[in-house]
Structure 1
Amino acid sequence: MSAKQNILAKLRNSLSGTTPLADDFDETLVTQPWSYPPEQRLARLRELMEAVHTEIHLTRSDAWPALLQRLLVERDLPSLLIAPNTEHGQQLQTHWRTSACTIPLKAYDRPIEEWKAELFNDTPASLTGTLGAIAATGSLIVWPSREEPRLMSLVPPVHFALLKASEVYDNLYEAQRKQQWAAGMPTNALLISGPSKTADIEQVLAYGAHGPKDLVVLILEDA
């Protein structure tokens, strides 16, 4: 028996003859103070995120690629990192072809070991989807995946994120329940409330110290 198996066996045996405690968890403790009328969720999310320097744009499912293109041009960003096999990645590539946009789209389609230096030193912006948002804390929910690894939202200086307005939840507990997180958790679940910031050095607030210095959220009002 391996050391791991030995430890697990001891843990199981320690429960022998014991009686489980009744589950008396009261979900109102984590929901009632942080519940909002549906028409107020988006406004609260915007208020909290914009308070920490997040840039938010309201758009539609058929209009966000053109908006993103305009924002890239206005910021003079030379390229954009995307996940080409996602639905939004394919939609963006189609728009790029029809609009004859000349800003290069970089595909995250290979192991990080093959292009680590390029990602960290020559990738100015990225686009990712989200799993929703939390009105109570003003946070985006991002689940890294095989198509959109965690580094996409953490490394490039500018992070563009797509959010469906219908997926703004009151609180984290509601999001977990409605999306059935218990059925399968990701390796990482990220809650992003704004650009990276720190005040470690002389308590002077600085943005971009440990991640993106700019967070731009495109909210799809019709989705």
Structure 2
Amino acid sequence: MSARDRILAKLRGARPAEPLAHPDPAPHYAARARNESKAERLARFRTGIEGFHADVHVTTEADWPALLARLCADKGVGTLLFGAQTPAGRRLDPATFAGTTLRPWAGRVEDIKADLFHTVDAGFTQTRGAIAETGSLILWSSADEPRTLSLVPPIHFALLDAAHIHPTFYDALVSENWAGGLPTNALLISGPSKTADIQQTLAYGAHGPKALIVLVINAEGDEQ
């Protein structure tokens, strides 16, 4: 018997006859979800993502386009790239964006690479939801709204409905039935890009957006 065979025989001999039972996490997470209000989830999410240097603005379904236009003006955004065929993209009116050019996403990355990396100031995306426990946004990319919009421009504006903030990642997986089908790419975003590669010093904006600005639609809250 070779050394390899002896090692494999030991491993097989140590393997339990029946798979080890794992505790079911559902009761713990379900209890938390039941006992936490929408306002509490929003507060937890906001504390978490602001701790990672993101900016959060609470608004309403009717007012968020005007808020986005105002923030673009405040940030000096010359060109905003967005998915024109998405529900949120259809709400954007160029007439309200003084000084900002709205550029619909079109074509392939290879075709617009020079503009994307050198002339586009910000990207705007919808979000699928968020996770209160980690202060993370959930984005599912699509042909109309590719991940490039959130990963390349210096500023990322993200639109979030507070009703879709989940207590935990587990709750998002279960309540939205992620097992039933996922996109080719799903993103969890907890702030602007950051790295500590150089002398273990944390730096923001090294490999992506330098700023993350979240517009939260909250029917139960006040605008901020």
Shorter-normalised TM range: 0.7 to 0.9
Partner SS, residue 195 of structure 1: coil
Distance 1:70 1:189, change over 3 A: same
CA contact (8 A) 1:53 1:194 kept: yes
Partner SS, residue 212 of structure 2: strand
Partner SS, residue 145 of structure 1: coil
Deviation string 1:5-45 (CA, Å, 9 cap, x unpaired) is xxxxxxxxxxxxxx996985502387369656123110011
Deviation string 1:163-200 (CA, Å, 9 cap, x unpaired) is 00100000111111111111111111111000001111
1:31 is matched with 29
In 2, Cα distance between the equivalents of 1:57 and 1:166?
Answer: 15
* Letter in structure 1 aligned against 2:76: D
Q: 2:121 aligns with which of 119, 124, 128?
A: 124
Aligned length: 202
2:194 is matched with 197
Partner SS, residue 177 of structure 1: helix
Partner SS, residue 118 of structure 1: helix
Q: Establish whether residue 163 from structure 1 lines up as the match of residue 160 from structure 2.
A: yes
Shifted more, 22-31 versus 150-159: the winner is 22-31
| Percent identity of equivalent pairs | 45
1:143 is matched with 140
Shifted more, 165-174 versus 102-111: the winner is 102-111
In 2, Cα distance between the equivalents of 1:77 and 1:220?
Answer: 22
RMSD, aligned α-carbons: 2.3
Distance 1:48 1:202, change over 3 A: same
Gaps of 5+ in 2: 1-16
Deviation string 1:85-121 (CA, Å, 9 cap, x unpaired) is 00100101xx333x37342111111111211111112
CA contact (8 A) 2:141 2:147 kept: yes
Structure 1 residue 218, shift from structure 2 partner: 0.1
CA contact (8 A) 1:79 1:105 kept: yes
CA contact (8 A) 1:80 1:125 kept: yes
> TM-score if structure 2 supplies the norm length?
0.83
Deviation string 1:132-155 (CA, Å, 9 cap, x unpaired) is 000011100001111111111100
1:61 is matched with 61
Distance 1:20 1:222, change over 3 A: farther
CA contact (8 A) 1:30 1:173 kept: no
Distance 1:32 1:180, change over 3 A: closer
Distance 1:28 1:213, change over 3 A: same
1:70 is matched with 70
Distance 1:100 1:198, change over 3 A: closer
* Letter in structure 2 aligned against 1:26: D
* Letter in structure 1 aligned against 2:78: P
Distance 1:108 1:40, change over 3 A: same
In 2, Cα distance between the equivalents of 1:108 and 1:30?
Answer: 42
1:9 is matched with none
> TM-score if structure 1 supplies the norm length?
0.83
In 1, Cα distance between the equivalents of 2:28 and 2:89?
Answer: 35
Task: Map 1:33-112 to 2 at 5 A.
Answer: 35=33, 37-38=36-37, 39-92=39-92, 95-97=93-95, 99=96, 101-112=98-109
Structure 1 residue 129, shift from structure 2 partner: 0.3
In 1, Cα distance between the equivalents of 2:124 and 2:130?
Answer: 16
CA contact (8 A) 1:34 1:136 kept: no
